[in-house]
């Protein structure tokens, strides 16, 4: 493992712990050259899921891309990183449980929106506005109405 600070490969594991969701192992490492510490995560590599985009293009599923989108929606909101990680882990698990090699990007977007609706209303509206490409203020109003209907059910 290369040190992110000095790029030397001589690092040692100082501490290892299973993450709360039991999906990965968190390792604290220390560089033997510069003595700086950093964290790495070890995850099981699963079979690739292919995402079919709206325009028909195909690309590999990226957990990091989903995480980035959820984090952006939750930016400056009182949502803990652990809850965001759990949402992304749950979405990935749902996709893998579907047992399909190819999944439409629309399905992933829907899963993210459903999860954000439960996690944080403002994050839901933010994500929906980008995902659905809102162009008018009334689209925000409709998204909020949809959110309120979901609360009632």
| Half-sphere exposure of residue 58: CA atoms within 13 angstroms, side-chain side | 6
Which pLDDT score, from 0 to 100, does residue 77 have? 95
CB atoms within 10 A of CB 43: 12
The token pair that represents 35 in the structure block: 């003595």
The structure's pTM equals 0.66
**φ and ψ of 53, to 5 deg:** -75, 170
Digit-coded pLDDT (tens) for 97-145: 998 889 999 999 999 999 999 999 999 999 989 988 888 888 888 888 8
Q: Helix, strand, or coil here: 118? A: helix
Which pLDDT score, from 0 to 100, does residue 75 have? 96
CB atoms within 10 A of CB 79: 19
Domain ranges of the chain: 1-45, 52-152
């Amino acid at each position: 493992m290369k040190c992110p600070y000095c790029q030397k490969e001589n690092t040692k594991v100082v501490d290892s712990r299973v993450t709360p969701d039991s999906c990965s192992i968190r390792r604290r490492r220390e560089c033997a050259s510069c003595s700086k510490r950093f964290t790495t995560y070890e995850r099981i590599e699963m079979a690739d899921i292919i995402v079919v985009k709206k325009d028909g293009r195909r690309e590999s599923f990226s957990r990091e891309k989903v995480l980035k989108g959820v984090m952006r929606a939750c930016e400056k909101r009182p949502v803990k990183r652990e809850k965001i990680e759990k949402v992304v882990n749950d979405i990935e698990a749902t996709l893998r449980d579907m047992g399909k090699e190819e999944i439409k990007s629309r399905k992933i977007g829907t899963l993210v929106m459903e999860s954000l609706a439960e996690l944080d209303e403002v994050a839901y509206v933010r994500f929906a506005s980008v995902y659905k490409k809102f162009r008018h203020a009334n689209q925000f109003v409709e998204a909020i109405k949809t959110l309120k209907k979901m609360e009632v059910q």
